[in-house]
Structure 1
Amino acid sequence: MGGTQDHTHDTTPGLLPAGTPGVPVTLVPAADWAAVEAGLEPAQRAFATATGFAPKAGRLALLPDAEGGLGRVLFGLGDPEAPAHDRLIAGKLPGLLPVGTYRMEGAPDPHAAALAWLMGSYGFRRYRSGGTETPRLVAPEDVDADEIDRVAAAVARGRDLVNTPANDLGPAEIEAAVRALAERHGARVGVTEGEDLARDFPLVHAVGAGSPRAPRLIDLTWGAETAPRVTLVGKGVAFDTGGLDIKPSAAMLLMKKDMGGAAAAIAAADMVMGAGLSVRLRLIVPAVENAVSGEAFRPGDVLRSRAGLTVEIGNTDAEGRLILADALALADAEEPDLLINFATLTGAARVALGPDLPALFTEDDALAEAIAAAGRAAIDPVWRLPLHAPYASLLDSKVADLNNVSGGPFAGAITAALFLRRFAPRTRAHAHFDLYGWNPSTKPGRPEGGEVQTARLVYALLKARYAAA
């Protein structure tokens, strides 16, 4: 169903073939330390004791061999059953070990450990001089190394999109990324811009009109027409000044990541097509820059959407929901079996759940449970917030069908989700992710910087539902 898949990424080398010689890295749960210690060579046991190694989570010991080289690595896991245990903890290792070739022993979940290693090897080095060599990992036995490589490469490409500064990544470059994705997998891409965009996607056009970099609607399709229809929609705001309701400078510092929803959707689509899942996949990305100029849309404007609903602009900094409204109307017209949208949408979701836990909104209880289970399995968690219908009245307008903001301080993430739901009324199986798209600090397998939150979750969900033919 798909085209050729690139299994590597220039800043995240893939796994080496199973059986390749490498320095053993023994992952040590606290409960197993006595047995592991007893199995060490006497000199290595003495060295571990002399250096004070204890199997606490993240602790490392480099043990010499008889010739004075690196003979073995010990890496503490702490208690893998503890509620706060990080299942991606092996992702710390690439940042701790000297360059070389390694093989892991004793991982409770070899697949997760290998994926964490590759995700922890990622570095965004486009603008920095210097070497890019990192420690390499031999594929553990009995894991699907190709699968792990594909997922890690898709994550890395998505992270690159979020990390690239806006001077080098605007709407045209987002389009180029989708076209490159299509070329890798044999998909088809259509793009709407200019007068056609103004006619067919008026909200996308209005939000992007203030920038000299033309807005566009990017529409990728892949797979058999008879397969179950899955549509992914990603918010592609290449940079968000806030428009005429301009953000303070501190709030603009990370606004290159306001296309993080598009990056997550692109990464998820990459994984789905790479695995050849039995779906008819559609990826829709409205790509704009929300800039300030004489052409920018204004507070108080009333705009007609693709769906026919009129929207009063209460705040030009609530632009993401506007472009998603037109994209969701397009997606909803064919009533897909599953519709998922991804967006860095509200600060309210971050206040409620923090940067690591995207908010999930859906009316479908069974879908919510399946998404939560997929998030746990993929170590890509989300938390469901309610689509509390009475709050929809907060979006009432005196001059239009609805306002794009509530105008009050309460329930900002919920009212944004309720706004989006108005534009996909036909599709019951609809999930909305309000995500941050950024790691504020480095954690195992998650370097500081851009992140494609929920992409691995969505892939795990779709893989469980629609295995490859």
Structure 2
Amino acid sequence: MPRVTTLLPATEDAIPIRCVDAAGWPAVAAELPPLAAAFARASGFEAKPGKIALLPGPDGALATVLFGVETGERADAFAVGRLPEALPQGTYRLEALPGDPALAALAWRLSGYRFGRYRERAAPKARLVAPEGIDAAEIDRIADAVAAGRDLVNTPANDLGPAEIEAAARALAARFGAAIEVVSGENLERGFPLIAAVGRASPRAPRLIDLTWGASDAPRVTLVGKGVVFDTGGLDIKPSAAMLLMKKDMAGAAVALAAAEMVMGTGLNLRLRVLIPTVENAIAGDAFRPGDVLASRRGLTVEIGNTDAEGRLILADALALADEDAPELVFDFATLTGAARVALGPDLPALFTEDDGLAAELAATGLAVNDPVWRMPLWAPYGSLLDSKVADLNNVSGGPFAGAVTAALFLRRFAPEAKAHVHLDLYGWNPSTKPGRPEGGEVQTARLVYALLRARYGARSQ
């Protein structure tokens, strides 16, 4: 079911929203009816980005909306996302858009998202007619998938544990006829020892979720999402301030599920696999410890240099399983390192891959769909920082430098057979509200990966 109001079909009584920049404003002003032009002058409207003027018709009712936009390199493709909250109840249509009308419509939809599980929050009453020539159903599918992912990230850990992530994955599988298996208990300990070790201190049992969809002979694509429902840091406990947003440490899982919903909803011609290792990194008498040496599914032994670097451990076992399938593409999504945030801030996920062509394709696609990433180096010499004297490798470098790079190099050791492996280190949260991006949980890179997969593989013939 839609989680926010869908786009409307065309209607003659929709109120026009004239998008104007500073250069074009004099011509637009000259075209306005005298009453509307006088009202715009009296209200002091300037065609600056984000400025809005509500212009009356002869009967005094709202007849036109003026909306200031910016063009050129600094233009915000989601600028229209300011309008749903700012406009009075009514049905609107966009005119003279300077950018992509599909992105503008998507921004409107995404701005209407509300997390209302614990407190009712009214959605904006302004409705938008789908711009001419766009695929409104596609926009609605994407917006609904993003909303579902945001709901997961926003839900606190007392109501979202490994079992609840499993339930969300099972519901998605049932909706699209996908197969799903869940590994837990003794089978998890035998087959995925790193996942089992990280999650064993919690009363909420760890597990590995394995969803598959699509024709068996189609190109194989695997999405791996980090599902740490809450991260105390383990015995290397975080300070209290660093725990405040740790409900979002499962955002990688939410991204994988959101992207999968888009892929299956459109019916892309690929064999999709979604792997979600989900745990709570808690503290108890049987918690894993600094200095422990743990086995992994791939056979590599891992010395634990820090229990707060648990995400890469659970991803390692999941990536090893993904690699056994020899997929054409493997994406992993994780709120993995503070180092990536220091380097790139909260809005720009870090991209790691050895495939130069794929990196360029992802960067270009991210800009095209306004879901950007920035490539970081997989600098192989830094791999020596993960050397251990007692095991095959350590889970941390033990130093202050290149934390995001060494984390990516750690993961790369566990998926050597994939034709292409992409690691996306993301924040999973909007620190403040921006057009199309309300404050709270965010499924960064889900739309990007879906757009790339759609461009590469297209929809299956019916």
**TM-score using structure 2 length:** 0.98
Q: Is the 8 A contact 1:121 1:134 kept in 2?
A: no
Q: Is the 8 A contact 2:161 2:204 kept in 1?
A: yes
- 2:292 matches 1:295: no
The one-letter code matched in structure 1 to 2:345 is G
The one-letter code matched in structure 1 to 2:291 is G
- 2:105 matches 1:114: yes
SS in 2 for 1:31: coil
Aligned residue number for residue 80 of structure 2: 90
- 2:23 matches 1:50: no
Q: Is the 8 A contact 1:363 1:428 kept in 2?
A: no
Correspondence 1:121-132 to 2 at 5 A: 121-129=112-120, 131-132=122-123
Query: Which shifted more, 66-75 or 191-200?
Result: 66-75
CA distance in 1, matches of 2:213, 2:361: 24
| CA deviation string 1:71-130 (max 9, x = no partner) | 11111003x11x222111111111211222211111132111100110111111221135
Q: Is the 8 A contact 1:233 1:327 kept in 2?
A: yes
| CA deviation string 1:321-342 (max 9, x = no partner) | 0000000000000110111000
2:199 is matched with which residue: 208, 215, 227? 208
CA distance in 2, matches of 1:234, 1:283: 8
2:408 is matched with which residue: 414, 417, 427? 417
Residue 30 (structure 1) shift: 2.2
CA distance in 2, matches of 1:62, 1:306: 62
| Change over 3 Å in CA distance of 1:151–1:20 after alignment to 2 | farther
CA distance in 2, matches of 1:164, 1:355: 20
Give the ranges of 4+ consecutive aligned residues of structure 1 lying more than 6 Å apart after TM superposition. none
CA distance in 1, matches of 2:28, 2:174: 49
SS in 1 for 2:361: helix
The one-letter code matched in structure 1 to 2:271 is R
Aligned residue number for residue 60 of structure 1: 52
Aligned residue number for residue 143 of structure 2: 152
SS in 2 for 1:258: helix
Q: Is the 8 A contact 2:113 2:123 kept in 1?
A: no
Query: Which shifted more, 188-197 or 127-136?
Result: 127-136
Identity of aligned residues (%): 70
Correspondence 1:183-262 to 2 at 5 A: 183-262=174-253
Residue 20 (structure 1) shift: 6.1
SS in 2 for 1:30: coil
1:342 is matched with which residue: 333, 344, 351? 333
- 2:56 matches 1:30: no
| CA deviation string 1:405-443 (max 9, x = no partner) | 000000000000000000001113110000000111111
SS in 1 for 2:24: helix
CA distance in 1, matches of 2:23, 2:305: 58
2:93 is matched with which residue: 103, 110, 115? 103
Q: Is the 8 A contact 1:110 1:140 kept in 2?
A: yes
| Change over 3 Å in CA distance of 1:46–1:329 after alignment to 2 | same
CA distance in 2, matches of 1:298, 1:99: 57
Q: Is the 8 A contact 1:238 1:259 kept in 2?
A: yes
Q: Is the 8 A contact 2:112 2:123 kept in 1?
A: no
How many aligned positions are there? 459
CA distance in 2, matches of 1:418, 1:54: 51
Residue 134 (structure 1) shift: 3.1
Aligned residue number for residue 357 of structure 1: 348
Q: Is the 8 A contact 1:343 1:433 kept in 2?
A: yes
| CA deviation string 1:33-73 (max 9, x = no partner) | 12211221111110000001111110000111222221111
The one-letter code matched in structure 2 to 1:198 is E
Aligned residue number for residue 285 of structure 1: 276
CA distance in 2, matches of 1:130, 1:91: 18
CA distance in 1, matches of 2:60, 2:10: 26
CA distance in 1, matches of 2:160, 2:233: 18
The one-letter code matched in structure 2 to 1:36 is V
Residue 177 (structure 1) shift: 1.0
Residue 133 (structure 1) shift: 4.8
SS in 2 for 1:85: coil
The one-letter code matched in structure 2 to 1:32 is G
| Change over 3 Å in CA distance of 1:466–1:178 after alignment to 2 | same
Aligned residue number for residue 330 of structure 1: 321
SS in 2 for 1:339: strand
Q: Is the 8 A contact 1:194 1:214 kept in 2?
A: yes
CA distance in 2, matches of 1:317, 1:130: 35
